[in-house]
Amino acid sequence: MSSPAPRPRRRTEGRADAPRASLTPDSWIDAATEVLVDRGIDHVRVDVLATQLGVTRGSFYWHFRDREDLLRRVLQAWRERATEQLTARLEQAATDPREQLRDVISLPVRGRAAARAARIELAIRAWARRDAMARQAVDEADASRIGYVAQVFSALGFPIAEARARAFLLYAYVVGESLMAGQGGAAQREARSRFVERLLQQPLAP
Amino acid sequence: MSSPAPRPRRRTEGRADAPRASLTPDSWIDAATEVLVDRGIDHVRVDVLATQLGVTRGSFYWHFRDREDLLRRVLQAWRERATEQLTARLEQAATDPREQLRDVISLPVRGRAAARAARIELAIRAWARRDAMARQAVDEADASRIGYVAQVFSALGFPIAEARARAFLLYAYVVGESLMAGQGGAAQREARSRFVERLLQQPLAP
């Protein structure tokens, strides 16, 4: 994610509060995301993160107004990465919609980066159960990803409303694979994914 | 859920620790479930629950060995209710499999009891991200519900493996509707559910 410009430094603050050369806003955002995944949102606190990063609490305030500001930017960073992950390939106009569908369907089984992204996403969904700001970020990310998938179904010739229903079902399948990673072995997951790919491209029988 | 037999009372304990006539193990299990939903698993603690129920901490130990014991029974109670919710109707042998499918598909839109059940389930899934005991309970509940739905697809004549893939997709849709309750209005959800019902009964094209 692109970091906003640093806030102006107040000269009155002591040397101990000066930001380490290596610490950027993203360092705090990444640390916060990690604590969120490992321990839950209640543990994402400035003191916990400062200790973990080996800096003073004060240096946090060079980059963020307060905890709320950090949390907002954790969500913003997640949304940008998460939407990007899905849309990067879809936006290459040259690609065939059938290929694009296969791409979306294979998202949950795509190795370690995808597994880490899935863990972050589940942690954010857990947080969204009880927090309006996180809820909104999740709803918007879901809507934007379902929208992209709906475009692919539209490109395949399905009517608008039906393309959206197909997109929702496909997206629920993708989320379900990461939410229910314990269901079936690799071969079963592979067979499921081939089945979903076929069924979802099939027109409704009259 | 059926409560296990009460543990023998130790005569040395004071009167203040005697269980209130109205407090059963289920009172503690329900209170724990409520705190889990509202505040997350870290807040489900004996002292918090005792305060909420207006009794002493000591009275907790009339019913449970320790916090772990309570948590295990929270999961057990959830599994029993959650699986029951899905299977109660399916087990009426007289029912047509098409009716049974419609029933499963309509689960997420079935009013306040279903909404409450969904909130509990999402809280338990959030807990399962970071706890092996909760993870196992969720995996087993998912497997047992997918298994029931697979039986319905088998009854509709689909081959075993394909029936399981269909069941997973349908189940992911049902979970997705509760996880992504913010996607679309009532009319869109209704249209989605009719679409899913039709598509999932359709044989794969050769």
Contact B176 A171 (CB under 8 A): yes
Closest alpha carbon to A126 in A40, A51, A204, A43 = A40
User: What is the pLDDT at residue A82?
Assistant: 83
- C-alpha triplet B97, B103, B104: angle, nearest 5°: 95
Query: Which residue, among A200, A70, A133, A172, has the nearest Cα to B180 in the 3D structure?
Result: A172
Interface of A with B in 33-52 (CB under 8 A): 38-40, 42
For residue A179, give the amino acid letter.
L
DSSP state letter for A64: -
A4 band by pLDDT with thresholds 50, 70 and 90: very low
CB atoms within 10 A of CB B97: 16
Long-range CB pairs of A66-73 (<8 Å, 24+ gap) are A70/A28, A70/A29, A70/A32, A70/A44, A70/A46, A71/A32, A71/A41, A71/A44, A71/A133, A71/A134, A72/A133, A73/A25, A73/A29
Min Cα distance A174 → chain B (Å) is: 8
8 Å CB contact of A169 and B192: yes
Closest CA–CA distance from residue A156 to any residue of chain B (Å): 17
A78-87, A116-125, A165-174: least confidently modelled range: A78-87
> Would you call B63 an interface residue with chain A, using a CB distance cutoff of 8 Å?
no
Is A172 close to B195, i.e. CB distance below 8 A?
Answer: no
Q: What is the dihedral of CA B138, B139, B141, B144, to 10 degrees?
A: 170
Task: Name the H helices within chain B.
Answer: 25-39, 46-53, 57-60, 67-90, 97-106, 112-128, 132-155, 160-179, 186-201
> B56 to chain A, minimum CA–CA distance in Å?
27
The pLDDT score that the predictor gives to residue B8 is 46
- Residues 6 or more apart whose CB falls under 8 angstroms from that of B153 comprise B97, B101, B162, B163, B164, B166, B167, B200
Q: Do A142 and B180 touch (CB under 8 A)?
A: yes
Q: Under CATH, which number does the domain A18-64 receive?
A: 1.10.10
List the structure tokens of B103. Answer: 């029933």
Mean of all residue pLDDT scores within chain A: 86
Substitution target in A119, A129, A194, A196 with the highest count of B β-carbons within 10 Å is: A129
What 3 state SS string does A116-185 have?
A: HHHHHHHHHHHHHCCCHHHHHHHHHHHHHHHHHHHHHHHHCCCCHHHHHHHHHHHHHHHHHHHHCCCCCC
Asked if B142's CB is within 8 angstroms of A122's CB, the reply is no
Mutate to test the interface with A, among B104, B129, B178 (most CBs of A within 10 A): B129
**Radius of gyration of chain B from Cα atoms?**
20
- Asked whether the beta carbons of residue B195 and residue A204 sit closer than 8 angstroms, the reply is yes
Find residues 154-173 of chain B whose CB sits inside 8 Å of chain A. 161-162, 164-166, 168-169, 171-173
B164 contacts on A by Cβ (under 8 Å): 184, 188, 192
Q: How far apart are alpha carbons A90 and B157 in whole angstroms? A: 37
For chain A, what percent of residues have pLDDT higher than 70? 85
If phi > 0 it is left, if psi is from -120 to 50 it is alpha, else beta; for residue B182 that is: alpha
Tokens linked to B104: 């499963």
- Name the minimum distance, in Å, from the CA of B21 to any CA of chain A: 34
Distance of residue A60 Cα from the nearest chain B Cα, in angstroms: 26
For chains A and B, count residue pairs whose Cβ atoms are closer than 8 Å. Answer: 132
| Across A78-87, A169-178, B37-46, B186-195, least confident range | A78-87
Best interface-test mutation with B: which of A39, A139, A169, A188 has the largest number of B CBs within 10 A?
A169
Q: Cβ separation of B188 and A164 shorter than 8 Å?
A: yes
For residue A201, the chain B residues in CB contact (below 8 A) are none
Which pLDDT belongs to residue B118?
87
Q: Which of B143, B164, B173 sits opposite A169 (nearest CB)?
A: B173
Domain B19-64 has CATH 1.10.10: yes
Residue found by looking up tokens 């809507």 in the block:
A143
Fill in the DSSP letter of residue A94.
T
State pTM to two decimals: 0.86
pLDDT in 10s for each residue of chain B, 206 residues: 344 444 444 444 444 445 555 689 999 999 999 999 999 999 999 999 999 999 999 999 999 999 999 999 999 999 998 888 777 767 765 578 898 888 888 876 667 777 888 899 999 999 999 999 999 999 999 999 999 999 999 999 999 999 999 999 999 999 999 899 889 998 999 999 999 999 999 999 88
Query: How far is residue B65's CA from residue A76's CA, in Å, rounded to a whole number?
Result: 44
> What per-residue confidence (pLDDT) applies to A13?
41
Q: What is the pLDDT of residue A76?
A: 96
